[in-house]
Each structure stands twice: as structure tokens, then as C-alpha cells.
Amino acid sequence: MGKKYREERDQERESFYEKRQKQQFKYKAVGLGILAGIIAVLAISSYNFYELTSQTTPKGVPPGAGPLGGIHIHAGLLTMIYDQQFDYSSLAYQLKSPYIHFEKDNGETVHMHAANVTLGFLFDSLHIGFTDKCFAFPDKREFCTDNKYTLKFFINHHQVPSIRNYVFKANDRILISYGNENETQINEQLARVDAYKLIT
């Protein structure tokens, strides 16, 4: 009788320890799963933050640029597509190059911090491609001159064939306009960029 009782007690003890170990294993597995999830979320968030804040293509010094910090001048830039203003104030277009950029959540004032930096370099840094005929955004939308609409460029009210290689001067007013606007509409757009209060 005593022997049988001891065996039953031993079995109960072993069963209790097995259950406890299984339960502890289960808790550890759940804890590790939660930790792995947290790490994954942090990794994804960090990557997205890096992508948003560190895209500075093209990297390096712009061709022919003077020393960084050698100057600090500003110009007003307005881009109108089908008579709608394109907004450069979003994070995707802010401070993408130390040489030339938009900043302070402002999408109207272009800052140049080195001499001889072209507007082409500015748009390359924003991942916006353009030629004298086409304006292309990172999401693959393209606005190209055709038999109905035209891409036009104005510097201080003077229409020019292209601004890609243009190095702006202090307080320049630059208009990029795509559509089929008449002269009155273009003059309204020019007046709009003229009215910009440039930030420093």
C-alpha cells in the first residue's frame, strides 16, 4: 500500500513538473513571438524613416559647384500643372541636398548654399526628372509637351526653352507651367510667384 502510494505521488509530481515546464515553454514562446514582432515593427519603421529622410540622390558635390556654405541665396519657384500648384512643402521634397533645397516645410523658396548649383541638380535630388519637353514625378506620372499641352519655363517673366542648367540669382522668380493656358492665365501664374515672400 505504501509503495503504491509513493509511486502515485511520484507520478503526480512528475506530471505537475511536466505541465509546469510546458506552461513555462508556452509563455516563453509567446514572449519571444511578441519580442520578434516588436523588433520587426521597429526595423520597418526605422527603414521607412531612413528612406524618407536620407534620400539625397544625387550624392556628392554638384558638378562645378563652389564650396558648401559659400553663399546663401533664395529664389521663388512655382510649378503649375493643369493650373494646379504642385506642393513641394511635403517631407518628400524637403532638404534632400545640402547644396540646394526647399526647407522649413516651405515649398515656395529654393535655398542655394553653394555657387553654380543648377536647378537640374535640385530636381534630381527630389527624384523629379525633367527635360525641356517632359516633367516626370517619382510615382511615374509624366507631363510632356504634345499637340494639346505644353511644358513652359519662365524666369522673371521671360519665357526660356529650358531651366535644367540654370543657376538662379538672388530673388529670381521661376515658373514651370504645364497645360494649355492662354496669356492671361500665364500672367496670373507669374503674378502668383511674384507675390511669394521668400523665407531665409
At residue 34, the pLDDT reads 73
Same domain, residue pair 133 and 167: yes
At residue 3, the pLDDT reads 58
Same domain, residue pair 107 and 22: no
At residue 58, the pLDDT reads 46
Same domain, residue pair 26 and 87: no
Residue found by looking up cell 541638380 in the block? 121
Domain span at residue 8 reads 1-54
Is residue 31 one of the residues assigned to a domain?
Answer: yes
Check if the beta carbon of residue 132 is closer than 8 Å to that of residue 85: no
Same domain, residue pair 7 and 77: no
Same domain, residue pair 145 and 176: yes
Check if the beta carbon of residue 99 is closer than 8 Å to that of residue 117: yes
Same domain, residue pair 48 and 122: no
Q: Residue 128 maps to which CATH number?
A: 2.170.130
Give the chain's domain count.
2
Is residue 180 one of the residues assigned to a domain?
Answer: yes
CA–chain centroid gap for 178, Å, is 22
Q: CA 71 to CA 68: how far, in whole Å? A: 8
| CB-CB neighbours of 53 under 10 Å | 12
Same domain, residue pair 103 and 162: yes
Same domain, residue pair 44 and 85: no
Same domain, residue pair 84 and 122: yes
Is residue 60 one of the residues assigned to a domain?
Answer: no
Same domain, residue pair 19 and 85: no
Q: CA 24 to CA 44: how far, in whole Å? A: 30
3 state SS for the chain: CHHHHHHHHHHHHHHHHHHHHHHHHHHHHHHHHHHHHHHHHHHHHHHHHHHHHCCCCCCCCCCCCCCCCCCCEEEEEEEEECCEECCCCCHHHECCCCCEEECCCCCCEEEECCCCCCHHHHHHHCCCEECCCEEECCCCCEEECCCCCEEEEEECCEEECCCCCCCCCCCCEEEEEEECCCHHHHHHHHHHHHCCCCCC
Q: CA 168 to CA 166: how far, in whole Å? A: 6
- Which backbone phi and psi does 13 adopt, to 5 degrees? -65, -45
**Mind listing the pLDDT tens digit of every residue in the chain (200 residues)?**
555 555 665 565 556 556 666 666 666 666 666 766 666 544 544 444 444 334 433 457 899 999 999 999 999 999 999 999 999 999 999 999 999 999 999 999 999 999 999 999 999 999 999 899 999 988 889 999 999 999 999 999 999 999 999 999 999 999 999 999 999 999 999 999 999 999 98
At residue 47, the pLDDT reads 42
Same domain, residue pair 48 and 87: no
At residue 20, the pLDDT reads 61
